[in-house]
Amino acid sequence: MSGLGVETDRLLAVLRAPASAAALDAAQWSSLVATARACNLIGALADKLQRHGVPAPAAARRHLDGALQLAARQRLSVEWEAHGLQRALGALGVPVVLLKGAAYVMAPPGKHGAAVGRGRMFGDIDVLVPRDALGDVESALMLDGWVSAKADAYDQRYYRDWMHEIPPMTHIRRGTVIDVHHTILPLTARNAPDPAQIIARALPVPGLPALRVPAPEDLLIHSVTHLVHEGELHNGLRDLHDIDGMLHGFGAEPAFWSRLVANAAGNDLAGPLALGLRLAQTVFDSPVPATTLATLDATAAPRWRRGWLPAVYGQALRPPTRADAGTRAAAARSVVYIRSHALRMPLPMLLRHLSVKAWKGLSTRQAETAPSV
Amino acid sequence: MLPIDTVLHIAPYTVRLRSPLVGLQHHLDTFYANAPRGSTQDFIDFDVQVLPASGLRRWWHPQARFVLDGEEPFFPLPAEQAGPLFEWGMNWCVAQRPLGQLVMHAAVVALGDDALMAPGFPGAGKSTLCSALVHLAGWRLLSDELAILDPAVGALLPHPRPISLKNASIPVVQAFAGVRLGPVYRDTRKGDITHAACPAGSLCMADRPAKVRWVVFPRFETGAAPHCEALSRAEAFVLISEQSFNNERMGEVGFDALCALLTGAECFEMVYGSTDDALALVRQITGSDGKGAAP
Amino acid sequence: MLIVIAPGRALRWAPRWPCSPDAVLFDASSGDYWVLSSEGRRVLEWLQAELAVERDLLLSRLSLLTEAAEAMLASLGAAGLLVAMVDGVVTAVPSGVAADD
């Protein structure tokens, strides 16, 4: 048991051993589906059950099949968006590296292990481009119908000066959101993968010459560092599940682990990576060689070795459905949020940022609109 | 008064509803007294709570919030509007949860197992038309707002709930024989709102899907001479898609299902200036004499 | 200059409904849909079969005057259905008289 709560534990147990779901009664199926949805893992659950031929009651199947259909539609949309990026950016001659979900979809078949991203839902598109190409990329996107999603001057400054991206852009017709990054973590962060290396090591995408996907070890490192630095763990369990998929898919190749350790050590990421791998082991029984963890531990900075870190992250991964300020999970989440921002920016700046964000959140909630009918 | 904690079978779904609000209890008593009940041992499709706002708005101009599976899709409404909030919330639940069905914005009524689907934006006059067909012409109600197409059976699933009526349609429908209206909520964000109960006969047939035979786009215009015009299926496809698929795009399964629906149906636009004219036009389109017994 | 269907599209036709010259075309990749005239349908079906057709050949085979045919191809391009290719480089479908190619 991972100690994430009864319902979440049951979900994780079914993901680890799908056949066990056959013994559930209607109410337990209800809870399983609801929990999976709350964790953004309903598609992953549906895929697991389908692959293992586990029968579900008809009422539950509607939800599971519906989720798989939605995931399939979204996967097609991601492919279409990739074609759109080729159209918009192809003429620039700049490498455009797809990150996260888009990378799982567009990776060349067979190379990255099909275990990643089955039944996954996709939202925003994330890409990484060379820093000096950022202006040209932004202009080319605007010509293609993308507009900046953040109009507020403070948010514009926050994004451009302190974070690692130009503000997200929305496509004016399709409504898709794209985040264009030039680095992996904010400029002010203390542990940062080297974007130039990621771009250099990236693999081509068949048929779309402007696009790339990160090498497997970089994809994993990005996902892990994103998880442990992320302030809001709304999709934490889903992201950890992606990591589990990658560990299964990439880990079969022995050279993967040595490349992983080499890349992490070279960028001072051994600490976050070790933490992320331990979280995946705890929650999903992910396969990680003991030697890999030992090597990472040896080069990790002391602050990453604090014993309470995995427990706090574990607590914070519980789905935030029954929001209640008194629970351990909510307290853990606020610790993670503050820590994550502390990793990103100096303290006085952090306090100012948090108080502005809180004030803006308050004034947004007070604005009333009628529900759509 | 005990808080509400009940499981309702509102075809084709099972809804768990929890709420401490008195206004909502009245709404349930008025409109869902005969809805089949389930238990928390059933598989729950929608876990709904209608809750008071926290903090100051719990007591000062108290508000109600609609919560699905712990998530709040809209901003709160005044607590006395808990009934309409529940109806709006249920529309949102059905329209946005992917359950393998194609959900379109349309009123749906049927004679036997032949359905007439009337797509249109909310307030296009389809609610009044829907009420008239149900209360005055013997059609059964599948839904006043949501056409739920099951691709596997190629038919619409009944989803009988109270018909939502706004503003000018209220006095019109109030005058129909056999109609049972709930309270009128004044000055909501949509104006004046009330609901007409789903007739018992429609509720009894809630497990019988109906295949669409007529797609009718209604247009109410005061003083208009009644007329109807056949539409091509291509036009109907576009009109339905524009109204239904702005947020969530249609997939291949949905496309095939909608095409099959249109292949089996005749499509019309209908312009009328009165209820009687509307009923006459529907009789003309469907070849029905409209004298069926009131459900 | 070759005309091709925009890469990435996965097109499906609605059934050929009687009493209607117009055809509904759906793209499974994006959820986009279009209503095409019968000439527009001919163009798309031809390109689905041949994959790439010389622009001039396409224009000559349409039963429209040249200007109208060019405008129609351009509008299919603007609608996101077609693109032009010159020496392997994808460009927009031109609207007027194309430069010699």
Q: How far is B219 from chain A (nearest CA, A)?
A: 19
Q: Residue C67 and residue A126: Cα distance in Å, rounded?
A: 42
The overall average pLDDT reported for chain B is: 91
* pLDDT at position B61: 85
Inter-chain residue contact A59 with B66, CB threshold 8 Å: no
Enumerate neighbours of B (3 or more CB pairs within 8 A): A, C
Higher pLDDT, A366 or B241: B241
Q: Is the minimum CB–CB distance between C30 and chain B shorter than 8 Å?
A: yes
Tokens encoding A200: 């250099």
Mean pLDDT of all residues in B110-115: 96
A153: left (phi over 0), alpha (psi -120 to 50) or beta: alpha
Query: Do C31 and B249 form a contact (C-beta atoms < 8 A)?
Result: yes
Q: How far is A76 from chain B (nearest CA, A)?
A: 9
Backbone CA torsion sign across A16, A21, A27, A29: positive
Query: Do A10 and A31 form a contact (C-beta atoms < 8 A)?
Result: yes
* pLDDT at position A318: 63
**pLDDT of C95 higher than 90:** no
* pLDDT at position A187: 45
Going by pLDDT thresholds of 50, 70 and 90, the confidence category of residue C66 is confident
Backbone CA torsion sign across B203, B209, B212, B213: negative
Q: How far is A84 from chain C (nearest CA, A)?
A: 9
Backbone CA torsion sign across A8, A12, A13, A14: positive
Q: Which residues of C touch B232 (CB under 8 A)?
A: 17, 19-20, 22
Inter-chain residue contact A57 with B43, CB threshold 8 Å: yes
Disruptive mutation site among B246, B255, B258, B263 for chain C (greatest number of C CBs within 10 Å): B255
Q: How far is A335 from chain B (nearest CA, A)?
A: 22
Inter-chain residue contact C8 with A83, CB threshold 8 Å: yes
* pLDDT at position A234: 73
**pLDDT of B120 higher than 70:** yes
Residue A13 sits at φ, ψ, to 5 deg, of: -65, -40
* pLDDT at position B291: 45
List Cβ neighbours of B170 (8 Å cut-off, separation of 6 or more): B181, B184, B192, B194
Q: Which residues of A touch B190 (CB under 8 A)?
A: 370, 373
Q: Which residues of C touch A73 (CB under 8 A)?
A: 31
* pLDDT at position A334: 57
List, edge to edge, every strand of the sheet that includes B185-188: B163-166, B191-196, B185-188
Q: How far is A8 from chain B (nearest CA, A)?
A: 15
User: Per mean pLDDT, which range of A278-287, A305-314, B281-290 is the poorest?
Assistant: A305-314
Mean pLDDT of all residues in A222-239: 79
Q: Is the minimum CB–CB distance between C31 and chain A shorter than 8 Å?
A: yes
Inter-chain residue contact C17 with B251, CB threshold 8 Å: no
Q: How far is B121 from chain A (nearest CA, A)?
A: 9
The overall average pLDDT reported for chain C is: 89
List Cβ neighbours of C68 (8 Å cut-off, separation of 6 or more): none
Place of tokens 């081509």: A204
Segment A15-73, tens digit of pLDDT? 999 999 999 999 999 999 999 999 999 999 999 999 999 999 999 999 999 999 999 99
**pLDDT of A252 higher than 90:** no
**pLDDT of B188 higher than 90:** no
Segment A232-247, tens digit of pLDDT? 567 888 999 999 999 9
Q: Which residues of B touch A35 (CB under 8 A)?
A: none
Top-confidence range, A109-113, B109-113, B221-225? B109-113
* pLDDT at position B38: 97
**pLDDT of B292 higher than 60:** no
Q: Following DSSP, what letter does each residue of B149-166 receive, concatenated?
A: EETTTTEEEP---PEEEE
* pLDDT at position B197: 97
* pLDDT at position A164: 56
* pLDDT at position A316: 64
* CA end-to-end distance (rounded Å), chain A: 43
Domains in chain B (CATH in brackets) are 4-96 (no CATH), 102-286 (3.40.50)
**Which of these, A256, A316, A341, lies nearest to A3 by C-alpha position?**
A316
Top-confidence range, A299-308, B102-111, C53-62? B102-111
Instruction: Please give the interface size between A and B, counted as residue pairs whose CB atoms are below 8 Å apart.
Output: 82
Domains in chain A (CATH in brackets) are 6-362 (3.30.460.40)
**Which of these, B11, B34, B22, B4, lies nearest to B183 by C-alpha position?**
B22
Mean pLDDT of all residues in B134-151: 96
* pLDDT at position A304: 67
Segment A260-282, tens digit of pLDDT? 999 888 777 888 899 889 889 98
Q: How far is C20 from chain B (nearest CA, A)?
A: 6
**Which of these, B102, B104, B106, B138, lies nearest to B217 by C-alpha position?**
B106
Residue B81 sits at φ, ψ, to 5 deg, of: -95, 25
Going by pLDDT thresholds of 50, 70 and 90, the confidence category of residue B293 is very low
Q: Residue A249 and residue B264: Cα distance in Å, rounded?
A: 47
Q: What chain B residue is nearest to C30 in terms of C-alpha separation?
A: B249
**Which of these, A83, A81, A93, lies nearest to A179 by C-alpha position?**
A81
* pLDDT at position A3: 53
Q: Is the minimum CB–CB distance between C37 and chain B shorter than 8 Å?
A: no
* pLDDT at position B215: 97
* pLDDT at position A220: 94
Q: Which residues of A touch C85 (CB under 8 A)?
A: none
Q: Is the minimum CB–CB distance between C38 and chain B shorter than 8 Å?
A: no
Q: How far is A348 from chain C (nearest CA, A)?
A: 45
Q: Residue A263 and residue A278: Cα distance in Å, rounded?
A: 18
Q: Is the minimum CB–CB distance between B251 and chain A shorter than 8 Å?
A: yes
* pLDDT at position A73: 92
List Cβ neighbours of B39 (8 Å cut-off, separation of 6 or more): B7
Backbone CA torsion sign across A59, A64, A69, A70: positive
Enumerate neighbours of C (3 or more CB pairs within 8 A): A, B
User: Per mean pLDDT, which range of A57-71, A130-144, A180-194, B180-194 is the poorest?
Assistant: A180-194
Count of helices and strands (H, E) across chain C? 3, 7
* pLDDT at position B54: 81
Q: What chain B residue is nearest to C23 in terms of C-alpha separation?
A: B234
List Cβ neighbours of A238 (8 Å cut-off, separation of 6 or more): A39, A40, A41, A44, A120
**pLDDT of B144 higher than 60:** yes
Q: Is the minimum CB–CB distance between B232 and chain C shorter than 8 Å?
A: yes
Place of tokens 């947004």: A364
* pLDDT at position B190: 81
Using beta carbons and an 8 Å cutoff, which residues of A are at the interface with C?
A: 73, 76-77, 79-80, 82-84, 86-87, 90, 174, 207
**pLDDT of A226 higher than 70:** yes
Helix (H) or strand (E) holding A49: helix A42-51
Segment B63-84, tens digit of pLDDT? 999 999 888 888 899 999 999 9
The overall average pLDDT reported for chain A is: 81
Q: Is the minimum CB–CB distance between C30 and chain A shorter than 8 Å?
A: yes
CB atoms under 10 Å from CB of A364, counted, come to 8
**pLDDT of A366 higher than 90:** no
Mean pLDDT of all residues in B206-224: 94
Q: Is the minimum CB–CB distance between B289 and chain C shorter than 8 Å?
A: no
Inter-chain residue contact A371 with B85, CB threshold 8 Å: yes
Higher pLDDT, A6 or A46: A46
Beta bridge partners of A58: none
Segment A305-356, tens digit of pLDDT? 666 566 666 666 666 554 433 355 655 555 555 555 555 555 555 555 555 5
Closest CB to A38 among B14, B69, B189: B69
**Number of alpha carbons in the 13 Å side-chain half-sphere of residue A292:** 23
Backbone CA torsion sign across A238, A240, A246, A248: negative
